[in-house]
Amino acid sequence: MDTTKELSPEAQAIYDGLKAKIGSFTPDFELWYKAQLAVEINQLKKERNAVVLGHNYMEPVLFHTVSDYVGDSLYLSRVAAETEADVIVFAGVEFMAETAKILNPTKTVLIPSTKAGCSLAEAITAEDVRWLKAQYPGVPVVTYVNTYADVKAETDICCTSGNAVKVVESLDSDQVIFLPDEFLAGNVARETGKTIIFPTKDKPDGDNPDLQYQMIGWQGRCMVHEQYTVEDITAIRADHPDVVVLAHPECSPEVVEASDFSGSTTAMMDHVRDNDFPSILLLTECSMGDNIIANNPDKNVLRLCSVRCPHMNQIQMQDILNALKFNQYEVTVPEDIRLKALASVERMIAIG
């Protein structure tokens, strides 16, 4: 790569902006190369009337250049429902792109990699949900958006990490089935004062059949957030007594309890922006830490974790360019499944 070559004025402006924001932790040649990709992507976006929706976990260059909207899954679902663009390129994982297609079936929705899955979405099938509904007839089913369309289609209402408690509290029912994240469910149960069980096919009433319970969960986990432990927090607090710990609710209830704040990825970002903490530790995906540091250069964010989501990491600048150039990879959802899934996603959006 000849980094002495002169950049076009447009690429130079993007390069300069990136250098100021993320130059302290990103190699120069990477900024130089990606600034030129950003120019090509911006041109194709214009030609195709396309919009790029970037999740907060996107790598810093993608997040700070070609993403037209950035945010958590709730916000990006809302944008996907309202956009006037002809093409939506979802810079996130497959279930997010599928949700955009469910909400906006006449648009072309592209996911730039076929390998951007999610350990939570893989943890449950539509057949599993049907089994649970047969075990607990009449109990409403809340499903985290981190699931595939056929699972959403078996569901009464969806939720995200940003509105899970609100969604559960909106249901007029003594019991709720909450799928598939064991830890998010545990955190909702903790916050709402409910008791939860985790049934399996050989123990449909969980480990304690005599227990009175209000929530029925499932044993799916996020492969990133399950890695954080209470011991990590104790060790950090020993070295940095003033540290404020922010944990995503996909962390275990013990980790969330030992933290100072828990919320969706955007809630975590806002909490850092809006407060003056002596130092901050983020227990979430590490690219988001970089994006927060880029937007808050004056804040002391401890760089102690480097857990990257391998699925989010599939989406790079070159993949966005290829998506727009070659119309890849188009997301499709069978119409009968889409209509059922739409009802549960729209109920969630109405709650906010």
Binding-site ranges for ligand 13P (CB under 6 A):
56, 72-74, 146, 160-162, 222, 248, 250, 264-265
Chain positions 120 to 179 lying near ligand SF4, rule: CB under 6 A, are 120, 146
Tell me if 93 sits within 8 A of 347, measured CB to CB.
Answer: no
In this chain, which stretch among 79-87, 117-125, 167-175, 208-216 interacts with ligand SF4, using CB under 6 A?
117-125
Residue 309 interacts with ligand SF4 (CB under 6 A)?
A: yes
Q: CB under 5 to 8 A by kind: which of ligand 13P, ligand SF4, none does 161 bind?
A: ligand 13P
Mark 84-113 with x for binding to ligand SF4 (rule: CB under 6 A) and - for no binding.
Answer: ---------x--------------------
Smallest distance, ligand 13P to C-beta of residue 285, A: 6
Smallest distance, ligand SF4 to C-beta of residue 120, A: 5
- Residue 290: CA atoms inside 13 Å, Cβ hemisphere, count? 21
Which residue number, 15 or 220, has a Cβ lying nearer to ligand SF4?
A: 220
What are the helix (H) ranges across the chain? 9-22, 28-48, 60-64, 73-82, 94-103, 126-135, 149-152, 164-170, 182-192, 230-239, 253-258, 265-274, 286-295, 317-326, 335-351
Q: Collapsing DSSP states into helix, strand and coil, what is residue 264?
A: coil
User: Is the N-terminal amide bond of 69 cis, ω within 30° of 0?
Assistant: no
- Residue 142 phi, psi dihedral angles, 5° rounding: -105, 130
**Residue from 88, 311, 319, 333 in contact with ligand SF4 (CB under 6 A):** 311
Residue 224 interacts with ligand SF4 (CB under 6 A)?
A: yes
Q: CB under 5 to 8 A by kind: which of ligand SF4, ligand 13P, none does 311 bind?
A: ligand SF4
> Which has the closest alpha carbon to 314: 69, 96, 21, 87?
96
Q: CB under 5 to 8 A by kind: which of ligand 13P, ligand SF4, none does 119 bind?
A: ligand SF4
User: Is the N-terminal amide bond of 241 cis, ω within 30° of 0?
Assistant: no
Smallest distance, ligand 13P to C-beta of residue 74, A: 6
Which residue number, 161 or 170, has a Cβ lying nearer to ligand 13P?
A: 161
Tell me if 250 sits within 8 A of 263, measured CB to CB.
Answer: no
N-terminal to C-terminal alpha carbon distance within the chain: 47
Question: Token pair of 103, please?
Answer: 């909400």
Q: CB under 5 to 8 A by kind: which of ligand 13P, ligand SF4, none does 77 bind?
A: none
Q: CB under 5 to 8 A by kind: which of ligand SF4, ligand 13P, none does 223 bind?
A: ligand SF4
Question: Token pair of 181, please?
Answer: 């994240």
> Which has the closest alpha carbon to 162: 48, 265, 41?
265
Task: Give contact residues for ligand SF4 (rule: CB under 6 A).
Answer: 93, 118-120, 146, 222-224, 250, 285, 309, 311-312
